């Protein structure tokens, strides 16, 4: 029969990083649902299924939990949209505004809660440049502005803000009209193309993106009602 010491040694230990990640994931969901005012360490611990002592070990105060949750959301955006790039990394891959726009639109459509958190955080923040995802996206816009793809003298801050605010606001109403994953992909593609066509007026050089001149994506509601028309006979 195993001794008490053996049973303790054999008991699997919790991974602190995985526990912290689980707490942050729950905190993000509650933050998107209830806002900052509804976030508390004890409530997050209850929903995450960890004891309060463990939660408070990782996050001593509600303010720290809120700060770390918004940072976690920003870092998640960085990873999903830009892969393993860090905000201060030198980006050497060829510019592909269309691929980036589609990747971002798809992620925003499938993760509207994270988009809402990030957008709300940016609107409240007075230090936008400290946010990891903003810095990484702004670096991309800086590269774009200095390339042959861009029109001269674009306002980089405004371009970045308009594109990001638009992509994270879009799913708020777009998801209400679609159900399947295929429909969401279609909607995301449509938004991406429309956003890039908008950028042709003042940011992107039209001759560098001829494929954007004419829409190639289907209508927003492919299953919407068809309008029947009847031709009137001309009176003789």
| pLDDT tens, residue by residue, 158-209 | 888 888 988 888 887 777 667 788 888 888 888 888 877 777 766 777 777 7
Q: Bridge-partner residues for 204, per DSSP?
A: 150
Q: Is residue 219 over pLDDT 50?
A: no
Burial class (CB in 10 A: 0-12, 13-18, 19+), 82: buried
For residue 127, which phi and psi values (nearest 5 degrees)? Answer: -130, 65
What integer pLDDT is reported at residue 56 of this predicted model? 94
Q: Is residue 89 over pLDDT 80?
A: no
What would the pLDDT profile of 37-58 be if each residue is shown by its tens digit?
889 999 999 999 999 999 999 9
- Where do the DSSP E strands lie in 59-135? none
Instruction: Write down the mean pLDDT value for the chain.
Output: 80
The CATH code for residues 68-212 is: 1.10.357
Task: Enumerate the CATH 1.10.10.60 domain ranges in the chain, comma separated.
Answer: 13-60
What integer pLDDT is reported at residue 206 of this predicted model? 72
The span from the CA of 52 to the CA of 143, in Å, is 46
The span from the CA of 170 to the CA of 111, in Å, is 12
Contacts of 196 (CB under 8 A, 6+ apart): 97, 98, 101, 204, 209, 212
Using the Cα atoms of residue 120, residue 126, residue 131 and residue 137 in order, give the sign of their dihedral: positive
User: Is 85 in contact with 78 (CB distance < 8 Å)?
Assistant: yes
Confidence of residue 132 (pLDDT cuts 50, 70, 90): very high
The span from the CA of 13 to the CA of 26, in Å, is 21
Q: Is residue 217 over pLDDT 50?
A: no
SS3 38: helix
- Of 30-34, 63-67, 178-182, which range is least confident? 178-182
Confidence of residue 31 (pLDDT cuts 50, 70, 90): very high
Provide the token pair at 124: 């409240």
What integer pLDDT is reported at residue 210 of this predicted model? 78
CB count in 10 Å sphere of residue 191: 24
Pick the CATH number of 13-60 from 1.10.10.60, 3.90.1200.10, 1.10.443.10, 1.10.420.10: 1.10.10.60
Using the Cα atoms of residue 47, residue 51, residue 52 and residue 56 in order, give the sign of their dihedral: negative
What integer pLDDT is reported at residue 202 of this predicted model? 67
pTM: 0.73
3-state helix, strand, coil in the chain (%, to 5): 65, 0, 35
Task: Enumerate the CATH 1.10.357 domain ranges in the chain, comma separated.
Answer: 68-212
What integer pLDDT is reported at residue 47 of this predicted model? 94
């Amino acid at each position: 029969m195993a001794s008490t010491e053996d049973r303790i040694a054999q008991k699997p230990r919790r991974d602190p990083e995985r526990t912290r990640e689980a707490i942050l994931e729950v905190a993000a969901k509650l933050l998107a649902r209830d806002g900052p005012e509804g976030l508390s360490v004890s409530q997050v611990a209850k929903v995450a299924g960890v004891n309060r002592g463990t939660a408070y070990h990782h996050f001593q105060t509600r303010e720290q939990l809120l700060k770390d949750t918004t940072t976690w959301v920003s870092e998640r955006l960085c990873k999903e949209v830009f892969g393993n790039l860090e905000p201060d990394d030198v980006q050497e891959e060829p510019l592909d505004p269309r691929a980036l726009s589609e990747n971002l639109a798809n992620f925003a459509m499938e993760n509207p809660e994270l988009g809402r958190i990030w957008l709300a955080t940016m609107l409240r923040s007075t230090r936008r440049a400290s946010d990891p995802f903003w810095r990484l996206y702004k670096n991309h816009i800086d590269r774009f502005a200095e390339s042959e793809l861009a029109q001269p003298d674009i306002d980089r801050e405004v371009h970045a803000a308009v594109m990001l605010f638009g992509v994270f606001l879009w799913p708020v109403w777009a998801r209400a009209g679609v159900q399947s994953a295929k429909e969401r992909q279609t909607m995301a593609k449509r938004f991406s193309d429309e956003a890039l066509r908008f950028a042709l007026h003042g940011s992107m050089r039209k001759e560098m993106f001829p494929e954007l001149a004419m829409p190639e994506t289907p209508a927003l509601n492919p299953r919407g009602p068809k309008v029947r028309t009847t031709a009137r006979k001309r009176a003789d």
